[in-house]
Structure 1
């Protein structure tokens, strides 16, 4: 069964991964975001991403704990 993908509008062209995790409601705080990214629990476009400062753009897919969200401007 395919996991549904939610679109999250960021209101601009780019957003950092750590900010996006909070903005999309995947995590409650920046401290949580830092830890899960560094520990390798977040993937971007199907690959583990360990840089919370990674710039996300329209169409990027972010997955955490089985939930996938797509970045939209």
Structure 2
């Protein structure tokens, strides 16, 4: 199932996105989370917490959760 994530600014970093959707508790956990889990951004494996996410991009997380970034 694909969920929409409304983007309030021009972009959001992957680490902040993971925190906003409550996948991690703090920004400091992002590095660990990305090392331990398979995360895809636009169908490419991603492990950089600073990766910028813009409207129109798709993020796939473990457990078949997918988010489509949309403009708010």
Structure 1 and Structure 2 fold alike (TM over 0.5): yes
TM-score by length of 1: 0.80
TM-score by length of 2: 0.81
RMSD: 1.6
Q: What stretches of structure 1 move > 3 A for 4+ residues in a row?
A: none
Unaligned runs of 5+ in 2: none
What is the aligned residue count?
A: 70
2:59 corresponds to: 62
Deviation at 1:71, TM superposition (A): 1.0
Greater CA drift, 30-39 or 12-21: 30-39
